[in-house]
């Protein structure tokens, strides 16, 4: 279905069925008697079916929003784009994926790790997994959310994450480290291209026409490059130890660029450390061992090759630094709970296999 921008610009402001529910709930909460009446008349079967969130009913609130709450785990979707439901309760929560919040029009309050951040039109905030936050939108503002699965992010944006910049550093630090920045925030203002691209990604996600997932991935990738090129000077991040951030990124970047033949000794020599100190420092900076990071980088590269090339399993194993296909298969299965051949079959049945 071909997109009609003018039509979508109009219908995007219409309240959907869930928003109408949440608006009634929002105004019912203004008085205790009206809230009690509202809760008493709820159809709980309908509430459960629609995954409506009601703080007064704790059973409707997940302890943590896992990938399966938003993603269809059967078709391996890695990106979900949706409009944030206005008037929905501002519930402090965390999730297992990256969440991108874009203010298409209006404003909202984003509470991240207990800190209120006021966002306005054109602002883009990315919140990593396991960070507690809530979004408050109690007017007609339009907020677009994009959810990105952590375990497939590297496969989707491999080249971008290998390009040194503040956004790739943010992603990598939150993929490989247990403690990194709580958020990153850019101000794109009235940028027309950015605004249209988010509207277009929303359209593709709703209609799910052929190749919609690939189109969304590539559009978002283009936005990433535009954002760091044109709005890198507007970036806001929490104040952490910048020396640690730089050091962590430098080590991860070096492993990514040399994963085929790298050894801990070579890495230590590059940064003028002893092997023992380098091993301990990597663990302190990322919460992961050197071998764990190296395996993750290699398997993520293998995933990209499995999906986008016709290389044999043996050729992929050799290209990413494994001496034998058998060892590669064991390491891949340890991370992905499936073999490389089955992964290729499940995720991209159109790839011609030898």
Residue 179 is predicted with a pLDDT of 62
Judged by phi (left if over 0) then psi (alpha if -120 to 50, else beta), residue 146 lies in beta
Summarised one tens digit per residue, pLDDT across range 276-324 is 998 988 888 778 899 998 998 899 889 888 988 889 999 999 999 999 9
Domain with residues 63-234, CATH architecture: Sandwich (2.60)
Residue 233 is predicted with a pLDDT of 84
What average pLDDT does the structure give for the chain?
Answer: 87
φ/ψ (deg, to 5) at 213: -65, -45
User: Does the pLDDT value for residue 348 go beyond 70?
Assistant: no
User: Does the pLDDT value for residue 174 go beyond 70?
Assistant: yes
**Pairing state between β 115-120 and 98-105:** unpaired
Instruction: Name the most confidently modeled range: 69-73, 88-92, 243-247.
Output: 88-92
* Tokens linked to 309: 């090339």
What CA–CA distance (Å, rounded) separates 282 from 166? 20
Q: Residue 15: how many CA atoms within 13 Å on its side-chain side?
A: 15
As annotated, the residues of the chain forming the CATH 2.60.120.280 domain(s) are 63-234
* Tokens linked to 69: 């709450």
Residue 76 is predicted with a pLDDT of 62
- The domain 242-347 is classified under which CATH number: 3.40.1280.10, 1.10.10.60, 1.10.3720.10, 3.50.50.60? 1.10.10.60
Summarised one tens digit per residue, pLDDT across range 160-170 is 887 878 898 88
């Amino acid at each position: 279905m071909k997109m009609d921008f003018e039509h979508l610009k109009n219908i995007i402001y219409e309240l959907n069925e869930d928003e109408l529910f949440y608006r009634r709930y929002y105004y019912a909460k203004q008085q205790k008697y009206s809230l009690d009446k509202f809760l008493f008349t709820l159809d709980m079967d309908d509430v459960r079916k629609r995954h409506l969130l009601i703080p007064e009913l704790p059973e409707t609130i997940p302890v943590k929003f896992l990938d399966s709450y938003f993603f269809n785990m059967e078709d391996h979707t890695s990106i979900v784009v949706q409009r944030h439901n206005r008037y929905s309760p501002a519930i402090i929560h965390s999730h297992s994926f990256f969440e991108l919040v874009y203010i298409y029009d209006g404003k909202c309050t984003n509470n991240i790790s207990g800190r209120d951040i006021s966002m306005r039109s054109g602002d883009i905030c990315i919140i990593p997994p396991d960070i507690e936050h809530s979004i408050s939108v109690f007017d007609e503002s339009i907020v677009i959310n994009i959810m990105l699965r952590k375990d497939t992010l590297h496969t989707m944006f491999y080249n971008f994450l290998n390009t040194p910049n503040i956004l790739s550093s943010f992603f990598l630090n939150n993929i490989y480290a247990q403690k990194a920045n709580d958020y990153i925030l850019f101000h794109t203002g009235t940028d027309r291209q950015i605004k249209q691209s988010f509207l277009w990604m929303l359209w593709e996600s709703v209609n799910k026409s052929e190749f919609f997932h690939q189109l969304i991935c590539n559009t978002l990738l283009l936005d990433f490059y535009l954002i760091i090129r044109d709005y890198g000077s507007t970036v806001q991040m929490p104040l952490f130890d910048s020396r640690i951030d730089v050091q962590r990124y430098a080590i991860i970047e070096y492993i990514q660029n040399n994963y085929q033949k790298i050894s801990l000794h070579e890495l230590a020599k590059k940064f003028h450390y002893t092997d023992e100190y380098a091993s301990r420092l990597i663990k302190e900076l990322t919460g992961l061992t050197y071998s764990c990071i190296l395996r993750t980088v290699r398997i993520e590269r293998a995933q990209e090759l499995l999906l986008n090339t016709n290389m044999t399993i043996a050729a992929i194993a050799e290209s990413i630094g494994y001496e034998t296909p058998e060892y590669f298969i064991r390491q891949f299965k340890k991370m992905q709970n499936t073999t490389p051949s089955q992964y290729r079959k499940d995720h991209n049945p159109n790839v011609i296999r030898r």
